[in-house]
Amino acid sequence: MSYIVPIGPYHPALEEPIHAKLYTEGEVIKDAEVFVGYNHRGIEKLATERNAIQTLVLVERVCGICSHSHALTYALAVEAINQLEVPKRGEYIRVITAELERLHSHFLWAGIALHIIGHDSMFMHTWDAREDIMDMLEELSGNRVNYAMVTIGGARRDISDEMRSSFEQRLDKLQKALDRVVELCVNDKTVALRTKGVGVMTTEEAVRMGAVGPHARASGVDVDVRRDSPYCSYGDFEFKVPVLDSCDVYARVVVRLLECYESISIIRQALQNLPAGPINLGNKLPKIKEGVHTSRHEAPRGQLIYQVVGDGGFNNHRVSIHVPSYKNTPTVPVMLRNNTVADAGLIIASIDPCFSCLDR
């Protein structure tokens, strides 16, 4: 028999506000539609009423998980319009914060995915390791969610020698925890049965639909803004971009875990080679010169884009935010087809959705 099965906009298997309408034959999903827009907050409009420093505070609240990514991408655009050159030490501190945020995001997502699978012991183990990342972010910034590490022209807080030593010890502990998580996720039969061959999106479909970030790389699309168009001194660091071609939920789990190793490596390199000198250009409130610039950053979920338009005043004339979930959400119906209703929550979650970002 044919049924229409609704999931969301609020659902026990997926707390994000998305509504998926599943058209099923028995337990098999034959087609699906996705609806968003339940969380709109008018942030782009609010940005036109604020100066550059106030906007940093505002855009950090687009998303609680990738708040540094939003502040950084906005700052990159304003700095380009005003032709400001950020001190090297400030850029390295920005990179360290960005990679800690990526670790935090990936560990958080892995834990939620394992919880949806039903592997709660692994969920708790993963989130226990995530606490070490949160502790590092708190030691660095004083905050556990919105880090306020970015100012126009650099970083807001410096890294002391004691903090560098502490971070290196914490990273050793985190890498051991990551080894354990990877070993269990790769070899565990429960994870394999629930993820392998589930929610397939081929490389051709990923390219056609414009998927980005780990979601695209799990479908064989070799793209990463940090490597392809370096910014914030990312060209100074050696790192790999993990790409898998099994194109299923299992690949999306593994790709994010492999990226955690690269983030740890980047942080180690930045700590060991941290340049001397100032961390910012001072705390003067800048006017945003007349002009327009589009900046890109490889956020934890994929390419994040900000376009900022200045008219020579203190406030933004226009801020346009293009988030990774905007690109990845349209791929959900493709992945749902020919899977079972029981796997729908996990498949939707496999894009690491942030509808708070999407419905900004």
User: pLDDT digits over 256-284, tens only?
Assistant: 999 999 999 999 999 999 999 999 998 78
pLDDT of residue 15: 64
Q: Which two tokens stand for residue 3?
A: 């049924």
* Strands ordered across the beta sheet of 291-299: 291-299, 302-310, 318-322
Asked if residue 313 belongs to a domain, the reply is yes
Asked if residue 233 belongs to a domain, the reply is yes
pLDDT of residue 14: 61
Question: 45 pLDDT band (50/70/90 cuts)?
Answer: very high
Taking 60 as the threshold, does the pLDDT of residue 13 lie above it? no
Most confident residue range from 19-28, 232-241, 339-348: 232-241
Asked if residue 149 belongs to a domain, the reply is yes
For 119-141, letters b (16+ CB in 10 Å) and e give beebbebbbebbebbbebbeebb
Q: Looking at residue 212, which CATH number applies to its domain?
A: 1.10.645.10
The Cα–Cα gap between 275 and 149 comes to 18
Asked if residue 33 belongs to a domain, the reply is no
DSSP 94-129: HHHHHHHHHHHHHHHHHHHHHHHHT-HHHHHHHHHH
Give the number of domains in the chain.
1
Instruction: Give the orientation angle of helix 120-141 with respect to helix 88-117, to 10 degrees.
Output: 160
How many Cα atoms sit within 13 Å of 332 on the Cβ side? Answer: 28
Least Cα distance to 30 among 39, 21, 38 occurs for 21
Asked if residue 110 belongs to a domain, the reply is yes
| pTM greater than the 0.85 cutoff | yes
Choose between 322 and 187: higher pLDDT. 322
Taking 70 as the threshold, does the pLDDT of residue 209 lie above it? yes
Asked if residue 344 belongs to a domain, the reply is no
* Averaged pLDDT score across all residues of the chain: 90
Asked if residue 356 belongs to a domain, the reply is no
Residue 181 structural domain: 39-325
CB atoms within 10 A of CB 20: 23
The Cα–Cα gap between 1 and 9 comes to 25
Peptide bond preceding 9 in cis form (omega within 30 of 0): yes
Taking 80 as the threshold, does the pLDDT of residue 12 lie above it? no
User: pLDDT digits over 123-156, tens only?
Assistant: 888 889 899 999 999 999 988 888 999 999 999 9
User: pLDDT digits over 25-36, tens only?
Assistant: 888 889 988 888
What average pLDDT does the segment 226-245 reach? 93
Asked if residue 339 belongs to a domain, the reply is no
DSSP 310-336: E-SSSB-SEEEEE-HHHHHGGGHHHHH
What average pLDDT does the segment 178-203 reach? 87
